Structure 1
Amino acid sequence: MIHTNIPTDFSIRTLPSKLTVAATKLPASDHRTLNKKREWLENYTVEVPKTLKRNGVASPVPAVLVFAQEEAGTAICISPNGVILTCSHCVAETEDELDWGKTHWLLFASGTVVAAKTVFWDPSRDLAILIITRAPPLALNSPASFPFIRLSPEPPRLNARLMCFGHPGAEDLEASIPGVKTNYDTLVMSLGTFKGMAPGQDPQDNAEIGVFMHDCWTYWGHSGAPLLDRNTGALVALHSSWDDETAMRRGVPWEAIDAFLQEIEKQEHGTTPEGWRWHCR
C-alpha cells in the first residue's frame, strides 16, 4: 500500500547562499556533518566506467544524492522537477515513525544542498518518493533543472553488468568497540552483476529483504543507492539490504520500482503542475 501526502504547492523556495543552523534547523552535530559531506563532494569526483563514454551516455553521478545525517542512506533524482527516489526505510522504519512534515536534507554529488519532503511511502516495496522543496538559486535556473537519471525500459537480464553509487557510513559497525571510523569516501562507485531474483519471493514484497540479488560492494548507508546498467546508465534497481547468511547483496527490483511509479502516475494524473514529471524513461 502506498501512503500518500501530496502538497497543494509544488513551488521550490530558495535557500540562502550561506546555509546556517538557523536555516536548516538541524542539531549542531548534524549540521557539521552536512558541511563535512558538502566539502568532500565539492572537492572530489566519482569516476564512471569508460563504457558509458564510449556509448555516448552522460555520467549518472550528478543525479545521485546522499542524506545529510550520519548513516542515513542514498537516493537518486528521477525527474528534472526534483523527484527523489529512495528506500522507504531511509525515510521511516515504520508507519508510526513516518513524519510527513519532516524536512530531509540531502546533497547532490556536486555538493549542492537541497531540502525535501516525503510524498509517497511504500513499506511493502521498500520505496519512497520525496520532492525537493528548497534549493540554492543556481539550482533553480528553470522550473525543471535538476540532474536526473531514467528508469530502464525493461528489467535487466541475468548477469547484466551493473554499477552502484552509494554513500557508505562513516562508522565501522563491525568493529568490536563503538566509534571506529571507516574512512570511506562520501560517495563511491562499485561494480558487479545481477545475480537473479530471490527464488519464491514476490518482487513487490521487499519489506524484510530485497528480491533483487547483486554483488556490487555496499556498506551501511548504501540503502537507496541506484543500481544502474553499466552500458546504458539506466536505473534497474535500488540497493536495500543484504543476506547475512550468504553475504549476497539485495535490492528493490525494477519490477517493483516500475509498478510503484506507474501507480503514482495513475493516481496523481491531473493533480500536478503542467509539465510535471514524476519520473523519466
Structure 2
Amino acid sequence: MSGDDIGRLKGKECDKLIKDNNLHPSWLHSTLGARREMLNKVRDEKAGFVQQVRSHSEGVLAAAIEEGICEGFIKKTRKRKVGAGGEGGEKKEFLRRLLECSVHITPSGSGVFLGLEGGGEAVFLTCAHCMEGDVDDVDPEGGAVPPPLLGRTVDVVTWKGVTFVAECVAVDEVKDIAVLRAEGGGWEGLEHVVVGTPREKEGVVCIGNPYDWDLEGEKGAPRQNGFLPFHASFGTVERRGVKMEGLGGMIHGCWTYWGHSGAPIVGVEGAGEGGGLRCVGIHNSWNDDNGDRHGVDGAVIIKFLKKKGYGWTVEGGVVEENKEERGRVIDLT
C-alpha cells in the first residue's frame, strides 16, 4: 500500500490496519491524521528493511561462508576451495540451503520454512512472542485486553527479498512456539527443514535477523550496529532440559541479538528424514545474568507440531538418542 493510499484511508480502514499490524491500541484513539502518519512510518520502516534485504541478498551467502571461516567452522587454509566444488562446494551448498529455509519477520523477528500443506499453503515456524508486536504493551488495569495471538498476521521476507503476509494458525505462548501459514505462490526454490531432536555438543548453525539499532548501549541517541539481515552464526548444543522461567530449555552457542527470536538452529548433519535440513530448535531468549543463549528444544517443538496436526514436518517423531541413527555429517571443521 502506497503512502497516497494510506492518506485516503477512512477511520475504520486505519483502525483495521493498526490491528492487522499488531500496533499499540492507543493508536486507535488518535486523530485520523495522526493514525495515517503513524501507519506511513510503519510502512516506511518495513519497506526500508525489505530494501536492505534485497540490496544485501547477493552477498549474504558469501557473508555466511566468511563467518564460518572466522568461527573456525571452515578452515582458513581451505578458504579458496569454498564454492569451488568438492568439500568446499558441499559446505557452500549446506549454507545456501539453510538460507533458503530461513525467513525474517519485518522489521524484527525470524522464522523457518517447514513445507507446503496439501492445499499449497506455505507453513513456517517461529516463536509465539514474535507475534506480539506493540499490541501487548498495554496496561491491564486500564481494561485493555490484547487480542489472542491466534489469527494475527505478520509481514515476512525471504533472503532474496520475496515478501508475503503470514497468519498465526497454531500457538503455545508458554512454550513460545507458533506456526504461521501463508497462501498464494512463489514458494518455488524454497528449501524446508524437518524438526529433529538435538544432541548435546552437536554442531549447529543459526540464521537470524539481528536488529541493527543498538539496544544495549547507554541512554541517549541510538546508534546503528552495522548488522546485516540473514546473519549466520555457528556453535554447539551446549545443554538441554534447562528449567528457568522465561527461558528456553536448550542452551546453544550461536551468537544472537534482538530480532533472532524464531531463528532456526540447524544441525550440521545434512538432510534428515524427508530431505529437509534438521532443525533442532529455535532461538528465543538469553540469560541476562551470564549471557547464555537459549532456544526452544526440538523435542518440545515436535510434540507441539504433532498435537496441532503438523506431524508431517517432524523427523520421525521423538526417539531415544542412544538408538538414533546419525546422518552423514558435513564436516565444517
For this structure pair, what is the TM-score category when the shorter chain's length is used for normalisation? 0.7 to 0.9
Secondary structure in structure 2 of the residue aligned to 1:186:
coil
- Does the Cα contact within 8 Å between 1:79 and 1:278 map onto a contact in 2? no
Match of 1:195 in 2: 238
Question: Equivalent residue for 1:214?
Answer: 252
The CA deviation at 1:41 is 2.1
Paired position in structure 2 for 1:182: 225
- TM-score norm. by structure 2 comes to 0.64
For 1:223 and 1:101, locate their aligned partners in 2 and report how far apart those are by CA, in whole Å.
19
State the partner residue of 1:78.
114
1:251 to 295, 311, 316: 295
Code of the residue aligned with 1:78 in structure 2: it is L
Distance 1:100 1:88 in 2: 9
The one of the two structures with greater contact order (alpha-carbon pairs below 8 A, sep at least 6) is 1
- The aligned residue for residue 38 of structure 1 is 50
8 Å Cα contact 2:233-2:255 kept in structure 1: yes
Q: Deviations over 1:105-140 (max 9, x none)?
A: 1111111000111111101211001101356xxx16
Normalized against structure 1, the TM-score is what?
0.74
Sort the Cα spacing of 1:149 and 1:87 in 2 relative to 1 into closer, same or farther, 3 A: same
Contact 1:78 1:278 in 2 (8 A): no
Answering whether residue 267 of structure 2 is matched by residue 229 of structure 1, we say yes
Q: Kindly state the Cα deviation for residue 35 of structure 1 after the two structures are TM-superposed.
A: 2.1
- Write the distance in 2 (CA, Å) between the matches of 1:207 and 1:226: 22
* Cα deviation, residue 53, structure 1: 4.4
Which of 306, 309, 313 pairs up with 1:262?
Answer: 306
Structure 1 outlier segments of 4+, above 6 Å: none
- Which amino acid in the other structure matches residue 84 of structure 1? F
Question: For the residues of structure 1 that align with 2:150 and 2:250, how far apart are their CA atoms?
Answer: 28
Instruction: Indicate conservation of the 8 Å contact 1:79/1:146, yes or no.
Output: no
Deviation at 1:280, TM superposition (A): 5.8
Tell me which protein shows more helix as a share of its residues.
2
Cα RMSD (Å) of the superposition? Answer: 2.9
AA at the equivalent of 2:214:
D
User: Does the residue aligned with 2:302 lie in a helix, a strand or coil?
Assistant: helix
In the alignment, structure 2 segments of 5+ residues that lack a partner are 7-15, 22-38, 69-81, 137-144, 271-276, 316-333
How far did residue 262 of structure 1 move? 0.7
| Alpha-carbon offset, residue 234 of structure 1 | 1.5
Please give the alpha-carbon distance, in whole angstroms, between the structure 1 residues aligned to 2:88 and 2:301: 23
Kindly state the Cα deviation for residue 221 of structure 1 after the two structures are TM-superposed.
0.5
CA contact (8 A) 1:237 1:254 kept: yes
SS of equivalent to 1:262: helix
- Whole-angstrom distance in 2 between the partners of 1:35 and 1:52: 35
SS at match of 1:125: coil
Match of 2:181 among 131, 137, 142: 131
Instruction: Show CA shifts across 1:27-46 (max 9, x none).
Output: 22222222222222223223
Q: Take 1:188 and 1:245, find their aligned partners in 2: how far apart are those partners?
A: 25
Which piece of structure 1 moves more, 234-243 or 20-29? 20-29
Q: What amino acid maps onto 2:292 in structure 1?
A: M
Which sections of structure 1, spanning at least 5 residues, go unmatched? 1-18, 267-276
Deviation of the 1:207 alpha carbon: 6.6
Name the CA shift for 1:102/1:263 in 2 (closer, same or farther; >3 Å). Answer: closer
Pair 1:111 & 2:161 matched:
yes
Q: Secondary structure at the match of 1:115?
A: strand
Displacement after TM superposition at 1:146 (Å): 6.5
State, as a whole percentage, how many aligned pairs show the same letter: 22
- Aligned partner letter, 1:60: L
**Bigger radius of gyration among the two:** 2
The worse-fitting range, judged by mean Cα deviation, of 21-30 and 105-114 is 21-30
Query: Is this contact kept in 2: 1:66–1:73, CA < 8 A?
Result: yes
Aligned to 2:206: 164
Matched positions, count: 238
Relative to structure 1, the CA distance from residue 20 to residue 65 in structure 2 (aligned partners, 3 Å threshold; closer, same or farther) is farther
